[in-house]
Amino acid sequence: MEMKPDDLNDLYSKLLSLLSDSSLTLADSEETTHAFEWLLFALNASELTVNNASLELLDNKRIEIKGNVSFVLPKGKYDLTMWITTSSKSERNFTVEFTADAAVEGKASEVFGTIYPTFHPENGVAAYEDILGDITISDVLEINYSDDDYAELPLHFSCMATLPNKGRWSSNPFCAILQAAGSNGKVTGRMSPNAVFDNVKFNAVLELDKTFTELIPSLRGKISAFIGLQNGMDGNDDPVGDFAIYQPYVSRAFAGLRFKLDGLSDEIRITAPLFRGGEYLTLGADFGKGLSPADMVNFITKLFGNVPGDHLMIPEATSQAII
């Protein structure tokens, strides 16, 4: 559909007519030229109501909407600023983007909704337990969205978080290392409302505040630690031996360290899944560019001791190694 010069003004006039008692309900309708189709699909909602709403047309280039909204998240009223501009994409007339934030305090399960169970072995038997739900979320939770950055997880988010210092978080060997880096940090990631269970699916990274300086004696410089967090992922990928407790949706956690070597432009990341157990340590090492497979093998064996050759697997045509 060809854009008309006055389309943005027309949309602004229509939105003004929909504003009632400082409330504005945005829906995917012909009346608003389907401007909010992608947004509502991303929110898994039929409409979005902005309370205490204000409207302004800025320099005839974008519409600004301010107010507060309630998302699918169970906790918090979010202050919203939304912008609508004409789109350069041929399949739509407008581009919608917004930022919303709210002060939150509570467990991850209280802020995001249901946290699915995490697989872990219990006395040699596959078991599931809500492990990620005890992470504490605090300070400001910020959510960002843009039609032009649409993905499977369309909402960006960030907040502060604190790892538990008891239970499985204290008994896992990798978690003990991470606790030494401090249990506080910033979570950044992407999320999407779950269309089936009305909860939130997310994929995020918790960057811990502190850094290590002597964790790897041969390394110069600082090493930072992070936790990878996933919720609402496919349970088919989990190593489940007992199908009686099979979970279609699960949460997962990964420990990680990142650092740089002299002469390399890319950082090295070492990751390992948490709470999986088993006889072997599954360790992923992403070396980026600049190292040969032989360099990777020498680095890992020097870092973690004399690893037997039959225990070390270097996939072909990749920069990752697994022990």
Q: Do 216 and 252 sit in the same domain of this protein?
A: yes
pLDDT band at residue 4 under the 50/70/90 scheme: very low
Q: What is the pLDDT of residues 290-301, one digit of tens each?
A: 666 666 666 666
| Residue 238, domain extent | 104-278
- Please tell me the least confidently modeled range out of 35-44, 97-106, 264-273: 264-273
Q: Indicate whether 192 belongs to any domain.
A: yes
Count of the separate structural domains present in the chain: 2
Q: Do 18 and 87 sit in the same domain of this protein?
A: yes
E-assigned strand segments in 172-319: 184-193, 200-212, 223-234, 249-259, 268-273, 284-286
Q: Indicate whether 81 belongs to any domain.
A: yes
Q: b/e for 157-194, b at 16 or more Cβ within 10 A?
A: bbbbbebbeeebbeebebbeebbebebebebebbbbbb
Q: Do 118 and 249 sit in the same domain of this protein?
A: yes
Q: Indicate whether 308 belongs to any domain.
A: no
Q: Cα(266)–Cα(258) distance, rounded to whole angstroms?
A: 10
Q: What is the pLDDT of residues 162-209, one digit of tens each?
A: 988 787 887 776 676 666 666 788 999 999 987 666 678 999 999 987
Q: Do 147 and 6 sit in the same domain of this protein?
A: no
Instruction: Look at the pTM and tell me if it is higher than 0.75.
Output: yes
Half-sphere exposure of 176 (CA within 13 A, CB side): 3
Give the SS3 label for residue 126: strand
Question: Which residues, in sequence order, are bridge partners of residue 11?
Answer: none
Helices assigned H by DSSP within 76-196: 108-112, 168-171, 173-180
Mean pLDDT (whole number) for 52-57: 96
Question: Is the pLDDT score of 283 beyond 90?
Answer: no
Cβ(64)–Cβ(214) below 8 Å: no
Q: Indicate whether 163 belongs to any domain.
A: yes
What are the tokens at 45?
A: 């909602």
